[in-house]
Amino acid sequence: MATKFLALSCLRNGAGAGDHTRQLSPNPRYPSMPKYPKGVSAQQTSSLPEFPESKAVFSVIGMTCSACAGSVEKAVKRLPGIRQAAIDVLNNRAQVLFFPNFVDEETIRETIQDAGFEAKLIDGETGLDNSSQVCRIRIVGMSCTSCSSTLEQTLQAMQGVQKAQVALATEEAEVIYDARILNHGQLLKTIEDCGFEAIFISTGDQMDKITLRVEGTTTEDSMTMIEKSLQALPGVQTIDMDLELHRVSIAYKPDRTGPRSFIKVIESTGSGRYKAMIEAGHGGRDSHKQEEIKQYYRSFLWSLVFTVPVFLLAMVFMYIPGIKHGLDTKIVNMLTVGALLKWGLSTPVQFVIGRRFYTGSYKALRHGSANMDVLIALGTNAAYFYSVYSVLRAATSPNFESTDFFETSSMLISFILLGKYLEVLAKGKTSEAIAKLMDLAPDTAILLTMDDEGNVMGEEEIDGRLIQKNDVIKIIPGAKVASDGYVVWGQSHVNESMITGEARPVAKRTGDPVIGGTVNENGVLHVKATRVGSESALSQIVRLVESAQMAKAPVQKFADRISKYFVPLVIILSLSTWLAWFLAGKLHGYPESWIPRSMDSFQLALQFGISVMVIACPCALGLATPTAVMVGTGVGASQGVLIKGGHALESAHRVDCIVFDKTGTLTVGKPVVVNTKLLRNMVLSDFYELVAAAEVNSEHPLGKAIVEYAKKFREDEENPAWPEARDFISITGHGVRASVRNKEIIVGNKSLMLDEKITIPIDAEEMLAETEERAQTGILVSIDKEVTGVLAISDPLKPGAQEVISILRSMRIESIMVTGDNWGTANSIAREVGINNVVAEAKPEQKAEKVKELQAAGRVVAMVGDGINDSPALVAADVGMAIGAGTDVAIEAADIVLMKSNLEDVITAIDLSRKTFARIRLNYIWALGYNLLGIPIAAGALFPGTGFRLPPWIAGAAMAASSVSVVVCSLMLKNYQKPKKLENLDIRGIRIE
C-alpha cells in the first residue's frame, strides 16, 4: 500500500534536474483519449485520413505536481480536434497531437494559459531547458490580499522568474525560476525589500534539510573546516553556516546520506573537540508561527502599557473633579498637564510599537501598491499629527483651547495589534491537519547494529529524524513504525488506519512492506528503512496537502480583483468624507448644535474621515477563500479524502452526475467463492482440500479465489500444505486437471466437462443457470469422472454500495455505471445497486467519450475509478476521484484520492466541498456586507438623524474583529461531521454461504 501513496508526491524533487537530453516520452502520461476529433463519431473514423494530423510541443511553466499536469491535460483534451495530449511535469513540456482542421496551436496555447500556466510554443521541438527550479519560501508579515498580490507581481517582474505564486493563508511563496539567471538568495532579498521577512524552505532539488548545533567551535576557521568536510559527503547539496549561533543547516538527498553521517563527520573533524546535535524545532513551520504569535502578543502588551493611561486621561479622569483640576493646570499659555501627558504616552505607541506599519506602508508604496499598513499609517498619523498641531498651538497661544485625538491613534494601534494577534492565533489553527499528520511520525526509534551475517550486535535509542536509508529499526508492540521499509525479521499485526484507512490490523511477516507512522499491535518487528525524510509516504501526503492549500481556488480571483483597487478607493472615500463634512460645516450646511462641545467642524470632519479609512480594510476579503480552503483540505485529509487544491474543491460542490467504474470501484475487485453445492455425500473440508491441491499451481484469479476460500477450513495453519498434485495440466480458458491422492480431479467450466465426456447432472445445470442470472461464474468439480460439486464465484459488491447510490440520488446526483465487462454482468450489478443508466463493454477511450457527452449536455461530471483504463475518463471529468487502493496512474490522474477505498467517501468529498463553499460564500457575505454597512456608518450616515457617530478607535476595533471573524468562521469547518445518513448506514458484510 505504501507504494500507492508515493504517487502522491507533489514535487518530484530533483528528478531529471540534470538530464538535459531527456525527451518527452512518445507515450502519453495517461492513456490517450479517442483517436478522432470531438464531434466526429467512431463510425466516421475511416474517413480520418481527410484530416491532416499535426504535432505541437509547448513549454508549460508553473506545473509542480501531477495535479497540475492533470489540469493541463483536462483543459487541452476538452478542445475539439485533440488526438493525444502528453504532459511531462518534470520537464515542463506538453506534446499535443491534433487535427488542424478543428483547432490550431494558438488556441491550444491560450487554453493552457486559461488553466493557470504560462505556455509557449517550442519551434522544432527543441525542448525546454531543465535549468528551471522550484523554490519555496515562508513569508512573515503579510496582512491582506494586497500584500500577496504585490509580492506576486514583484517576483513575477524579476528577470529569470517564470512563475510566482504567493498564498496569504499559508504564508508561503512558490517560485519557478531559471537557475542560470537567479538564485534563491536574490528571491529572498526581493521579498525583504517589499517589507516582509523571508525564510528559505527549499528548492526543487533539495529533498531534505536539517539544522545541527555545533558545540566546541570558536573560530571562523573551525567552521570552514567543518563545512569542507561536509561538502565531501555524497548527496550534500547546500550548506549554510551561522558562526554566531554555532549552527549549520544542510540540504541533502536522503537516499544518499543522512544526519547521522553529518554528526559523525563533524565530530571526527575536530578529533573529538566538536559535538553536534539536531537543533530542536529550528526552521519548522510551527516555530515561526509561534514566534509571530509571541511578537504580536508582546507588541500588544507594550501598547497597553501606554494606551491604558492615555484612555484613562482622556475618558475617565476628566470626569473626576479633583484629578480634572490637576490635569487642566496650564504649563505654558493654554498647554495643559493632561495634554502633555497624553502626548508623551502616545508617542512611543505611534512610532516605536507602530513602527511596523510605517515600514510596511513605505515599502508597499515604493513598489507602487497600497496595503492595510498604508490605511493604518494614514489614519493614525492624521489623528496624531493633528493632535500635535493642536497642542503646539495651545502652547504658543494665550486663548486657543486645544482638542487632541491622542487616544484615537494609540487605541487604534492597540486594537489593530490585538486583532492581528487573534488573527495569527486563529490562522495557526487552520493548518492543524498538517501538524497532526506530521505528528504521526515517532519522535524516537530503536536503531539496531547488525553484523555481516545479519545478527543483532546492539541497539540504541535515537532521534526519529536521525534515521537513514538501509537502517534496521526495532519496532516493539504499541510503538509507531519509524519509517517506510520492509520487515526483515518477526511477525505482527500493524494498524494502518491512520494512513490507508483500513480499520483491521494488517498481518506483517518477513518481506512485507510497512508504512511510517502506522502502529505495531502485538509482535516485535525488525524493519529495514527504504524511504526516509521527504521520500516517505507520510511526507508525500503532507506535501500534497500543503500543495493543495497553496493552490488558489478560482473563486479567489474575485477577491484578488477587488483588493487591487480597494485601498486606493478607500483613501479616496476617506478624503471625500472629510472634505464633505468640512465644507458642510464651513458653509453652515448643518446646525452648529450637531458639533460636540469638545471639538469644531474641522475636527468632526477629521474623525469621520479617519473612521472611514480604518474600518474599510481588505483583510477579511482576502482571507475569506484561502482560510476556508485550508481548513477544508485539512479536514478532508483527516477523513481520508485527499483533495488536490482549491480547484478540485470548487468543482466538486457543483457535481450533479457521477460516473462509476464497476470492477474495483462498485465491486471489491477480487473474486471470492460465494456458494458451494455438493452433489454427493462428502465432508466439505475434504472436498476443498482436493480442489485446492489441484488449483494451487494455477495462476488464474478464479483458481486463487478457490485456494483462498479453502484456507478457511485450515484456519489453524497460516500457510497450509496441500496434498501433492501430480500430472498437473492447465487448460487455458477452461480449467485444470491433476491427480491428487490417486483421484483424478478436474476443475473447470461446463465446456471442459463436455470435452472430457463427463455427464453433468440436472442439479448442476440448474445451479449453473442460477449463477449466470446473478452475474456469478459457475465452476464444476469432477472427481474420478463424476461431477461432485458446483462452486459459485463472484466479484461481490463493496459494502454499502447500494446505500451510497441511494444517498447520492437523494442529493440529486445521478449515478451512471460504465464498465468494460459484459452486458449481462453489468446489468445485474446495476440492478443490485440501483443504477439505471449503464454502459457496458466500454473501452478506456469510450469511457472518456461518455464523460464528454455528459459535459456537452451541460452536466458537471465526477468520475470514480481505480484502474489504468479509468485514467482517460478521470482526466476528462470535471472531478476525477481515484480509489486509494487503485493504480498509481489512476491516483495521479485524479483530482481527489479516496485513501480508504470506501465508496462512502465519494459522498464525504462532495458534502465537504459543499460545506466548504457554503462557508466561503458566508465569508464573502460577511466581509463585503461588513464594508458596505460599515463605511456609510463610519462616514456619518446615521449622524444627522440619530446623532450616532463611530469614533476611529471603535472603527479600528471593528476592522480587526472582521478579519478575526472570517478566520473563525472558516475554523468552524474543523467541526465538520460526515452526513448523518452515512452514520446510520448499515454496512453489509460479504456473506459466504
User: What is residue 134's three-state secondary structure?
Assistant: strand
Bridge-based pairing of strands 506-508 and 519-520 is unpaired
**What does the pLDDT read at residue 11?**
32
Has residue 576 got a pLDDT over 50? yes
| pLDDT tens-digit series, residues 97-121 | 888 777 888 889 888 887 777 788 8
| pLDDT tens-digit series, residues 225-283 | 887 888 888 878 778 777 777 778 787 777 778 888 888 888 777 666 777 877 755 44
Cβ-contact 800, 985 below 8 angstroms: yes
Greatest mean pLDDT among 609-613, 642-646, 789-793 lies in 789-793
Of 1-5, 209-213, 535-539, the one with minimum mean pLDDT is 1-5
Has residue 482 got a pLDDT over 80? yes
**What does the pLDDT read at residue 617?**
67
**Cβ contacts of 498-503, under 8 Å, gap ≥ 24:** 498/440, 499/1, 499/5, 499/440, 499/537, 499/538, 499/541, 499/899, 500/1, 500/884, 500/885, 500/899, 500/900, 501/640, 501/884, 501/899, 501/900, 501/901, 501/902, 502/1, 502/900
Place of cell 526552521: 283
Residue 747 β-bridge partners: 736, 781
The single residue of 661, 821, 870, 911 carrying the catalytic annotation is 661
Higher pLDDT, 442 or 23: 442
CA 9 → CA 278, 644, 743, distances in Å? 26, 11, 54
Has residue 8 got a pLDDT over 70? no
**What does the pLDDT read at residue 174?**
83
Residue 948 neighbours by CB under 8 Å, 6+ apart = 937, 942
Confidence of residue 992 (pLDDT cuts 50, 70, 90): very low
Across the chain, how many H-helices and E-strands are there? Answer: 33, 36
**What does the pLDDT read at residue 327?**
85
**C-alpha 725 chain-centroid distance:** 53
3-state SS string over 749-761? CHHHHHHCCCCCC
| pLDDT tens-digit series, residues 928-967 | 887 788 889 888 888 888 888 888 878 777 777 777 888 8
Residue type, 553: A
Q: What average pLDDT does the segment 729-755 reach?
A: 86
Burial-class residue 358 by CB neighbours within 10 Å (0-12, 13-18, 19+).
middle
**What does the pLDDT read at residue 15?**
36
Q: What average pLDDT does the segment 604-618 reach?
A: 82
Burial-class residue 986 by CB neighbours within 10 Å (0-12, 13-18, 19+).
exposed
Has residue 719 got a pLDDT over 90? no
| pLDDT tens-digit series, residues 670-705 | 788 888 989 888 888 889 989 999 988 877 777 888
CA-CA distance, 151 to 139, in Å (whole number)? Answer: 10
In the chain, % helix, strand, coil (3-state, to 5) comes to 50, 20, 30
Has residue 564 got a pLDDT over 60? yes
C-alpha cell at 572: 479616496
CA-CA distance, 127 to 808, in Å (whole number)? Answer: 46
Residue 84 β-bridge partners: 97
CA 950 → CA 160, 575, 613, 956, distances in Å? 49, 16, 12, 10
Q: CA torsion angle for 523, 527, 533, 536 (degrees, to 10)?
A: -80
**What does the pLDDT read at residue 13?**
35
Q: Which helix (H) or strand (E) is 475 found in, with range?
A: strand 472-475
CA 682 → CA 464, 674, 780, 882, distances in Å? 57, 19, 16, 45
Mean pLDDT over the full length of the chain: 78
**What does the pLDDT read at residue 218?**
62
3-state SS string over 650-712? HHHCCCCEEEECHHHHHECCCCEEEEEEECCCCCHHHHHHHHHHHHCCCCCHHHHHHHHHHHH
DSSP string, 744-809: EEEEE-HHHHHHTTPPPPHHHHHHHHHHHHTT-EEEEEEETTEEEEEEEEE-PBPTTHHHHHHHHH
Backbone phi and psi for residue 334, each to the nearest 5 degrees, phi listed first: -100, 5
Of 4-18, 197-211, 261-275, 659-673, the one with minimum mean pLDDT is 4-18
| pLDDT tens-digit series, residues 416-445 | 888 778 777 766 666 666 666 667 778 888
Has residue 7 got a pLDDT over 70? no
Residue 911 neighbours by CB under 8 Å, 6+ apart = 811, 978, 979
CA angle 483, 489, 494 (to 5 degrees): 55
Has residue 2 got a pLDDT over 70? no
CA-CA distance, 525 to 476, in Å (whole number)? Answer: 7
CA angle 305, 311, 315 (to 5 degrees): 160
Residue 174 β-bridge partners: 136, 165
Cα-only R_g, the chain: 35
* pLDDT above 90 coverage of the chain, percent: 9
Has residue 21 got a pLDDT over 70? no
C-alpha cell at 448: 539496531
Residue 659 β-bridge partners: 816, 863
Has residue 713 got a pLDDT over 60? yes
Residue 345 neighbours by CB under 8 Å, 6+ apart = 306, 307, 309, 310, 313, 406, 410
Q: Which helix (H) or strand (E) is 311 found in, with range?
A: helix 285-311
Is 255 tagged catalytic? Answer: no
Q: CA torsion angle for 278, 283, 287, 293 (degrees, to 10)?
A: 150
CA 523 → CA 497, 715, 849, distances in Å? 18, 20, 51
Total residue count of the chain as it appears in this document: 993
CA-CA distance, 153 to 145, in Å (whole number)? Answer: 12
Higher pLDDT, 549 or 920: 920
* pLDDT above 70 coverage of the chain, percent: 82
User: What is residue 985's three-state secondary structure?
Assistant: coil
C-alpha cell at 12: 518530484
CA-CA distance, 656 to 633, in Å (whole number)? Answer: 21
Has residue 206 got a pLDDT over 50? no
**What does the pLDDT read at residue 341?**
92
